[in-house]
Amino acid sequence: MAGLWFEQFSDGQVFEHGPTRTVTEMDNVLFSTLTMNPQPLHLDEEFARGTEFGQRIVNSLFTLGLLIGLTVGETTLGTTIANLGMSRVEFPKPVFHGDTLRARTKVLSTRRSRSRPDAGIVEFEHQAINQRGEVVATCVRAALMRCRPAAPSG
């Protein structure tokens, strides 16, 4: 597994994730239309030109999904059971077509599951950072993580 087992996480642990992703116009238009979001800030260049941003901005839910996706390979790939929820989702700066995002994760807390002896709960704080070093998205995510399997005996 590329992801880490519950026991491999510790409070305060920080990951500077390796993958980066440049957001394209196609990403934004396709995601917005697939999710039935007709917001002209995402789809209409003429409308967006007249806003404070001066151009279209990337759909924030795409940004959130990309943020989580950038973190998976080094944290939860194949070792997560389920996402339990997200909180404190914020978008302090807009994302524009052509921005390149990277991710940083901090482990806020870990605890064994009270109902599942084979699992634990890890609370992550994720940040998306653009090519200018600006934080463009943050969220806190709770994940139910698998414990390391017992070594085979015998």
Domain boundaries, the chain: 6-146
Q: Using 50, 70 and 90 to split pLDDT, how confident is the model at 154?
A: low
Rounded distance between C-alpha atoms, residue 110 and residue 88, angstroms: 18
| 1 pLDDT more than 70 | no
Rounded distance between C-alpha atoms, residue 138 and residue 128, angstroms: 6
User: What separation in angstroms does the CA of 149 have from each of 65, 108, 111, 118, 124?
Assistant: 29, 24, 17, 8, 22
Q: Region 18-32: what's the mean pLDDT?
A: 97
Q: Using 50, 70 and 90 to split pLDDT, how confident is the model at 2?
A: confident
Q: Using 50, 70 and 90 to split pLDDT, how confident is the model at 153?
A: low
Q: What is the structure's pLDDT at 152?
A: 72
Q: What is the structure's pLDDT at 51?
A: 97
pLDDT digits (tens, 9 = 90+) for 80-115: 999 999 999 999 999 999 999 999 999 999 999 999
Considering the four listed CATH numbers 3.40.800.20, 3.40.50.1450, 3.30.413.10, 3.10.129.10, the one that applies to the domain covering 6-146 is 3.10.129.10
| 126 pLDDT more than 90 | yes
Rounded distance between C-alpha atoms, residue 118 and residue 61, angstroms: 32
Reduce the DSSP state of residue 33 to 3 states and report it. helix
